[in-house]
Amino acid sequence: MTDQGFSPDQIDTTRPHPARMYDYYLGGQDNYEADRIAGDRLLALTPDVRISARANRDFLGRAVRHVTGEGIRQIIDIGTGIPTSPNTHEVAHAVNPDVRVAYVDNDPIVGVYADAKLLNTANTGFFLADLRDPKAILEHPTLGRFIDFSEPVALMLVSVLHFLTDEEDPAGILRAFGGVLPSGSRLVLSHATGDFHPPEVSKAGEEIYKKATAQLSLRPHAAVLAYFDGFELEEPGLVQTPLWRPEGPVGQELKGVASYAGVGVKR
Q: What are the pLDDT digits (tens) for 49-104?
A: 899 999 999 999 999 999 999 999 999 999 988 777 889 999 999 999 999 999 99
Share of the chain above pLDDT 70, in %: 94
| Residue 6: inside a domain | no
How much is the pLDDT for 8?
47
Per-residue pLDDT, 3 = 40
Q: Residue 4: inside a domain, yes or no?
A: no
Given this model, what pLDDT does residue 1 score? 30
Beta strand pairing status for 186-192 and 74-78? unpaired
- Whether 5 maps to a domain, the answer reads no
Q: What is the pLDDT of residue 118?
A: 65
Please tell me the total count of domains within the chain. Answer: 1
- Domain membership flag for residue 195: yes
User: Quick one: pLDDT at residue 241?
Assistant: 97
Supply the pLDDT for residue 107.
Answer: 81
Predicted TM-score (pTM) of the model is 0.90
Does residue 182 lie within any of the structural domains? yes
Domain-embedded: residue 134: yes
- What mean pLDDT value characterizes the chain? 90
Domain membership flag for residue 152: yes
Q: What is the pLDDT of residues 192-249, one digit of tens each?
A: 999 998 889 888 888 888 878 778 899 999 999 999 999 999 999 999 999 999 999 9
- What was the pLDDT predicted at 124? 92
pLDDT band at 179 (very low <50, low <70, confident <90, very high): very high
In angstroms, the CA 192 to CA 58 distance is 15
- Provide the pLDDT for residue 9: 53
- Of 122 and 265, the structure prediction assigns the larger pLDDT to 265
Which of the two residues, 162 and 29, has the higher pLDDT score?
162
CA 80 to chain centre: 6
Long-range pairs for 241-247 at CB < 8 Å and ≥24 separation?
241/52, 241/55, 241/56, 241/59, 241/190, 242/55, 242/58, 242/59, 244/59, 244/62, 244/63, 245/62, 245/66, 246/62, 247/62
DSSP 194: S
Question: Residue 258 and residue 191: Cα distance in Å, rounded?
Answer: 9
pLDDT at 244: 98
- Which CATH number is 28's domain given? 3.40.50.150
Question: Residue 169 belongs to what domain range?
Answer: 12-266
The model's pLDDT over 117-155, given as tens digits with 9 standing for 90+, comes to: 666 788 999 999 999 999 999 999 999 999 999 999 999
Spatial distance between the Cα atoms of 185 and 72, rounded to a whole number of angstroms: 8
In a domain, 7, yes or no: no
